């Protein structure tokens, strides 16, 4: 194939390795999926070319391909969160808990009532959410900025209650002051839609805390994440952006084993871009980091289903979550915890049964 920067996308997924010859399938990221081939992609100034190679015939000599293959099949380390451990060998559900007046889906539901918000978070955990992702500032397009002190007042009382109840919490924020306050209150993970770029001090907060962090892609993280851009190849361009961002964050003192990535579905991307990213999600395992997929109730579901309103996007949300699980996403960030957990349990049951024959 033509020279250029190389990428590997696992393809030809199979239900079980049973019955396949040695070396013909490999386990994806130490999880519950096996794959039998790679799409080898090359990108250079002349465009994109690709070829499909069965694993049985995959014998790379190029150092980058060797590195990518090792990253793709390596098990993802568990996340150690104080006394809690999140194992990443199967898809986990993260429940969305917004304490905002204006979030696109559930704004105002839990505003100004920390006790009720915490009860909702405890309910998510009881329903099977591995963690609860709490946010005090809307990231929808056009949402007004929230003052740091106001955001802290919204999230900290809820986090304190959830931590006392033994619920694992992540803080959805781009502000270093909010990160620090939330971590002190009991949050264990930082989930930043700006990938620690909105404020230069954010990366130091995460490095000093030694906590896991989710780095999400967006075209303009310093401006809110919803600027539009034109991609020549959205899949590899988002991959490159995350690859560079991981390297910068590691250089700033964050352990690579504590970095998760999010392709940023719906943030400055067209419907075609979002579909390409979801269909090509397995490419991102080459980064060697766990993948968080956030597609719950998003605009693309309405665009594909006769403009269904936010309150009528459960079916589409579950379909996308299961697609993410199928392609190896380790964390599924959702509003509808009970229904998604049930869907994932059934999906897992099918896979467990396939393995035993």
- Whole-angstrom CA distances from 267 to 140, 154, 219, 302 are 9, 24, 8, 15
Catalytic status, residue 175:
no
Catalytic status, residue 64:
no
Distance CA 161, CA 164 (A): 5
**Cβ–Cβ < 8 Å for 322, 315:** no
Q: Which ranges in the chain belong to alpha helices (H)? A: 63-73, 114-126, 148-164, 176-185, 202-209, 234-251, 271-279, 299-304, 314-326, 337-356
**Cβ–Cβ < 8 Å for 90, 328:** no
Nearest-Å Rg of the Cα atoms of the chain is 20
Distance CA 170, CA 79 (A): 12
Please provide the size of the chain in residues: 357
Q: Of 76, 174, 333, 351, which one is the catalytic site residue?
A: 333
Residue in this structure with the two tokens 């106001």, named with its chain if needed: 150
**DSSP 3-state of 155:** helix
Distance CA 315, CA 295 (A): 12
Distance CA 172, CA 150 (A): 14
Distance CA 59, CA 7 (A): 15
Distance CA 357, CA 354 (A): 5
Distance CA 5, CA 351 (A): 35
Q: Of 298, 299, 351, 353, which one is the catalytic site residue?
A: 298
CA-nearest of 180, 176, 211 to 197 is: 176
**Cβ–Cβ < 8 Å for 141, 130:** no
Q: Which residues are catalytic?
A: 298, 333
């Amino acid at each position: 194939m033509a020279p250029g920067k190389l990428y590997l996308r696992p393809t030809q997924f199979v239900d079980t390795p049973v019955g396949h010859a040695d070396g013909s399938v490999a386990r994806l990221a130490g999880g519950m999926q096996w794959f039998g081939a790679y799409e080898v992609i090359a990108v250079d100034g002349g465009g994109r070319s690709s070829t499909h190679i069965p694993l049985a015939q995959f014998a790379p000599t190029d150092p980058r391909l060797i590195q990518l293959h090792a990253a793709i099949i390596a098990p993802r380390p568990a996340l150690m969160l104080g006394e809690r451990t999140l194992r990443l060998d199967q898809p986990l559900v993260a429940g969305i808990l917004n304490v905002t007046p204006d979030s696109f889906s559930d704004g105002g539901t839990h505003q100004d009532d920390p006790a009720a918000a915490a009860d909702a978070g405890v309910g998510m955990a009881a329903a099977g959410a591995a963690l609860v992702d709490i946010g005090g500032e809307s990231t929808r397009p056009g949402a007004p900025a929230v003052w740091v002190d106001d955001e802290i007042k919204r999230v900290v009382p809820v986090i304190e209650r959830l931590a006392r109840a033994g619920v694992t919490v992540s803080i959805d924020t781009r502000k270093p002051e909010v990160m620090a306050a939330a971590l002190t209150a009991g949050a264990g993970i930082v989930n930043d839609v700006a990938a620690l770029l909105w404020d230069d001090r954010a990366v130091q907060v995460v490095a000093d805390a030694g906590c896991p962090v989710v780095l999400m892609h967006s075209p303009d993280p310093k401006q809110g994440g919803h600027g539009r851009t034109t991609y020549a190849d959205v899949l590899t361009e988002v991959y490159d952006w995350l690859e560079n961002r991981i390297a910068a964050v590691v250089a700033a003192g964050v352990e690579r084993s504590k970095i998760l990535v999010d392709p940023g579905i719906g943030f400055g991307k067209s419907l075609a871009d979002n579909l390409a990213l979801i269909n090509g999600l397995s490419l991102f395992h080459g980064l060697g980091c766990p993948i968080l997929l956030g597609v719950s109730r998003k605009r693309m579901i309405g665009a594909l289903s006769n403009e269904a309103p936010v309150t009528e996007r459960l079916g589409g949300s579950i379909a996308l979550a299961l697609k993410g699980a199928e392609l190896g996403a380790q964390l599924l960030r959702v509003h509808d915890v009970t229904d998604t957990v049930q869907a994932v349990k059934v999906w897992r049951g099918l896979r467990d049964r396939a393995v035993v024959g």
